[in-house]
Amino acid sequence: MAANEKLREKISHLPHKPGIYKFFDDEGIIYVGKAIDIRKRVSSYFNRSAQHNKKTLKLISKIKDIEFTIVDTEADAFLLENNLIKQYQPKYNILLKDGKTYPYICIVNERFPRVISTRNKINDGSRYFGPYPSGTTMHIVLDLIRTLYPLRTCTYNLSPENIAAGKFKVCLEYHIGNCKGPCEDLIDETTYNQYISQIRNILSGNLSIAKTYFKERMAEAAADYQYEQAHRYKQKLDLLEDYQAKSTVVSNTLSNIDVFTITSNEKCAFVNYLKVMNGSIIQTQSLELHKKLDESDEELLATVIVQLRHEFESTSREIITNIELTLPLDNITITQPQIGDKRKLLNLSLKNAMYLRKEREGRQEQNKSLGEQREIRVLETLKKDLRLTELPRQIECFDNSNFQGDNPVASMVCFKNGKPSKKDYRHFHIKSVVGPNDFESMYEVVTRRYKRLLDENQPLPQLIIIDGGKGQLSFAVKALKDLDLWGKIAIVGIAKRLEEIFYPGDKLPLYIDKKSESLKLIQRLRNEAHRFAITFHRSRRDAGTLKTELTDVKGIGPTTADALLQKYRSVKKLKELTLAELTEEVGQRKAHILFDYFHGASGAAS
């Protein structure tokens, strides 16, 4: 409560101005948000009458601190939020990428520039085009360029001095016609740079200049009766025409447009992005977003637009979308066309988004079906290996835990259809057994578990697994007999040393193949029960130690000890608190008592 009051006090001093806010837990930033009014937006999270969903409530429960940054406009807040999300990657914000880099085509800043592929952008004056959504897409464009233009691929320093000194010789690329030999000054720099200029236009989506160039060269060669050369220019022109034909989807009058469409289900959203230049799609990207806080399509698409436009270095002033959207960005027009070429473009993008959704949902259903088939197969194997009369769809496993007889506890874990059903897990405080007696403890917890199921008319498991040897198993069997459940539920024990399976009344254990899926399932149950019991036992033991030490302090009662125990879990953490922090937790009088106890009278004085 003290921490909550501390947050409310901080919220009351937040400004009524646009900006961003950051939520922190004990480890760092967990959420970044934007707001026209910071105080009003942050206050809405802590409004008791607000109807928050479960995910948002979980976020709120984690908040330990709040920071904010004021900006001039809503647009500034929008962009700053995007930058901070990419920088810190908070747990509860939508993140578009998992750190992978996308390929670019780079015109290297050098004399007789090379055209290469790269995934790393360097601020060295080179010109980068992209990024491309995949290496395959990028190589299609790169191969087209290398087919059209004879460019060098060597990394020599082709300075005028080096060329004049004859430091280099032409290589195989020259002899097979892929390079014009700038290393031996066999092509002038002006002609080479004409190629580079046309390549820049092609990569920017403007094919008309390159097409005009090849048409003119073809006509000149034909006029000079150089028909083979004219044919080669014709082939290059055909390549450009073919490339443009494959990418042109609407009228050539459409240029420099971004298209974003979104479709979603309860858990995910699917977005498609098309970049259009001169009627051609020059970039495309489809992606799946996993919702963090049940965000609306509008929130998700706004985030995607800012991040993808930055990633793809878009400068377009027109954005087409399939939903109503308001972005606080200057000089940007957002439309939802209903007819014409822009509508056709929108439909194409939406078709891509819908295809991604259908493919992912189909894959999820297939994986779910395959998973269910595998689970049934494992249960069938277990039924066969243990010679059961029915399929063990519900299996329950018990384990005891104590430390030198202190704090005896037990656990029960439940697997349904081969998977953990954690809502059915149970902890047990041993009530009727004094001292370290695993046999009697097992009898108690098995009795309590199934008496309750019988009293509440709940379904019984088809298989019980006891983590232990013949002793624990025999007492569990006794419990079933006393409840008149003997013969109605199959029960076995598993001994840790050799993974032996024991049946009631059978002196010889069963050994299941170590590689068997059924043995692995039994081991999973046993290990989970052990983990669950040990965790519970450790928390009780630590709690008992802390509570005992605190209640030994004169003036600190059990209520105060319980409250501190629930929050801090250890004396070490309490010792790290300042006097002011202790005062905030338990009041001035008790804070001084605890501080003196932990640090001595001198510590209090200082």
Would the pLDDT of 402 be above 70?
A: no
Mean pLDDT value across residues 476-490:
93
Would the pLDDT of 97 be above 80?
A: no
**Measured between alpha carbons, how far is residue 57 from residues 26, 52, 53, 298, 541 in Å?**
17, 6, 6, 21, 31
Question: Rounded mean pLDDT of the chain?
Answer: 83
Are 267 and 290 in contact by the 8 Å Cβ rule? The answer is: yes
Q: Return the number of other C-beta atoms located less than 10 Å from residue 251's C-beta.
A: 13
Largest CA distance in the chain: 111
What's the pTM?
0.54
Roughly how many angstroms between the first and final C-alpha of the chain, as a whole number?
28
What is the reported pLDDT for 603?
42
Would the pLDDT of 419 be above 50?
A: yes
Mean pLDDT value across residues 79-88:
80
* CA–CA distance, 527 with 533 (Å, rounded to integer): 10
**Measured between alpha carbons, how far is residue 73 from residues 36, 304, 328, 329 in Å?**
8, 20, 9, 10
Highest mean pLDDT among 348-357, 371-380, 450-459, 552-561: 450-459
What tokens does 481 get? 């007999």
Would the pLDDT of 394 be above 90?
A: yes
Are 150 and 194 in contact by the 8 Å Cβ rule? The answer is: no
What is the reported pLDDT for 258?
92
What is the residue whose two structure tokens read 């005062």? 583
What is the reported pLDDT for 600?
65
In three state form, how does the secondary structure of 350-378 look? HHHHHHHHHHHHHHHHHHHHHHHHHHHHH
Could you report the per-residue pLDDT of 293-325, keeping only the tens digit for each? 878 899 899 988 988 888 777 888 999 999 998
Mean pLDDT value across residues 41-49:
85
What is the reported pLDDT for 247?
58
> In order of start, what are the domains of the chain with their CATH numbers?
5-88 (3.40.1440.10), 257-360 (3.30.420), 389-539 (3.30.420.340), 553-600 (no CATH)
